Amino acid sequence: MPTLLDPEDKIAVQLDFSDNRLMIDLVGPGSAHLAQIEQLMGVQIVHRGNTLVVHGEASSDAERVLNALYARLESGKDVNMGVIDALIRLRAEEDVEGTRDGDQEEMFPGPALEIRTRKKTMEPRTEAQKAYTRALLENELTFGIGPAGTGKTYIAVAVAVSKFITGEVDRIILTRPAVEAGEKLGFLPGTQDEKVDPYMQPLYDALNDFLPGKQLQKLREDKRVEIAPLAFMRGRTLSNAFVILDEAQNATTMQMKMFLTRLGQGSRMAITGDRSQVDLPRGVTSGLRDAEDLLIGVDGISFNYFTAKDVVRHPLVAKIITAYEAADDRREAERAAPREWRK
């Protein structure tokens, strides 16, 4: 194929790909994947047929990203904007930490870790997500603590569905405290389920990603999949079930103790929460923080932590979280400073 490179452009790179079908997935709908790479890496990509020409200072880095994405497609895995964002962030972190191997062609390091469900295959993207997934698979009690958008609940639901499909557990039970996030909604109309459904919607969303709608409805009718407020867990012994407590930072210390002591034979528990989003009344201690202080280091209990680097939502979410964390650090430093210094 004749080259599209300008001989005067010393930093441009040309890539030729052979598979038309994979090329379509690589480019993305409306060239969205290429546009994302251009924006995140500061390059310009010209697309003609099965050829891509990359212009810009980061053209060699973009070449490695594109080759890695194409290799991913060749292995039968999908490419989407989340995968692209995670991959480019991984390279940026390697640059900062000085860990990049110049000869390394594999940009998705480590053995493949996939959780298969009825509707899709979930693949953890960051190292923290991989460690968390392994902990969920191996431990009876696992904590996932970190900011919003890091996949704590999503991964836990995927593992729960996978273990349910293989028969390792008989039931899936999802719960969260029915605490309003800074707004008083008053008394909600309808039946008990209709009253609590708004609080449980994120759990429904995750389940719908992994189980067909009709099957999920039947499982709920048979009580093999339950979604309920944390208060409904009192007095129960949860055996042969995968139990997930979401938004655990909004559980009180007594609620957390009540929940943890529901663990029965053949069951597994996952507790997820974000210590920076406590909606409890002022002066009420978060059960998540209390449990972390009391249980960390206990054999058989795994604590897994996430940071803004693990956010898999829109890239701006990670920047927003980082900005808030920096502001919190400044406030803590100001409160800890001597009075004379503050003046």
Regarding the domain delimited by 13-97, which CATH topology (the fold level of the hierarchy) does it fall under? Ribosomal Protein S8; Chain: A, domain 1 (3.30.1370)
**What is the per-residue pLDDT for 79?**
87
**What is the per-residue pLDDT for 323?**
82
Say if domain 115-312 classifies as CATH 3.30.230.70: no
Q: What mean pLDDT value characterizes the chain?
A: 82
% residues pLDDT > 90 (the chain): 46
**What is the per-residue pLDDT for 183?**
44
Contact 274, 248 (CB under 8 A): no
The tens digit of pLDDT for each residue in 86-137 reads: 788 766 665 545 544 443 344 554 456 788 888 888 888 888 999 999 999 9
Rounded Cα–Cα distance for residues 138 and 132 (Å): 10
Give the CA distances from residue 240 to residues 89, 154, 160, 243, 302, in Å, rounded to whole numbers and listed in that order.
Answer: 39, 21, 12, 9, 20
**Confidence at 313, pLDDT banded by 50, 70, 90:** low
**Confidence at 324, pLDDT banded by 50, 70, 90:** confident
**What is the per-residue pLDDT for 184?**
47
Amino acid at 245: L
The tens digit of pLDDT for each residue in 20-79 reads: 899 999 999 999 999 999 998 999 999 998 999 999 999 989 999 999 999 989 888 888
